[in-house]
Amino acid sequence: MAYAHPYEAVNIFVLYDRIEKSADGPIQASTFLAHVMTHEITHLLQGMPFGPEDLDLIQLGLRRLAAVAGSAGPPAPKAELR
């Protein structure tokens, strides 16, 4: 849906037509766009492709979101570090 040249650290190319086709409407399209931009900006800030640990964290986050979407209530609060 987008790509960046991490070593160039300047440009992000968004393929918005693909985002629109994947969305169920303008609100979902804007949400997809936000996720795509965050993903690509992270590549630029890191200056490199995602590593295995990054991919593990992304997949963990997706599983948590799917679990919350499948439950009736809000997600449980996270413990605070003191």
Enter the pTM of the model.
0.58
Q: CA–CA separation, 64 vs 36, rounded Å?
A: 19
Q: Find the domain containing 26 and state its range.
A: 2-52
Task: Answer whether residue 82 is part of any domain.
Answer: no
Residue 74: what pLDDT? 54
For the segment 20-46, the average pLDDT, to the nearest whole number, is: 90
Indicate whether 6 belongs to any domain.
yes
Number of domains present in the structure of the chain: 1
Question: Does residue 46 form part of some domain?
Answer: yes
With residue 2 as reference, give the H or E element that holds it. Answer: strand 2-4
C-alpha–C-alpha distance, residues 1 and 32, integer Å? 9
Query: Could you tell me what percent of the chain has a pLDDT over 90?
Result: 29
* Within a domain: 34: yes
State residue 81's pLDDT score.
46
Is residue 56 predicted with pLDDT exceeding 80? yes
Residues near 10 by Cβ (< 8 Å), separated by ≥ 6? Answer: 44
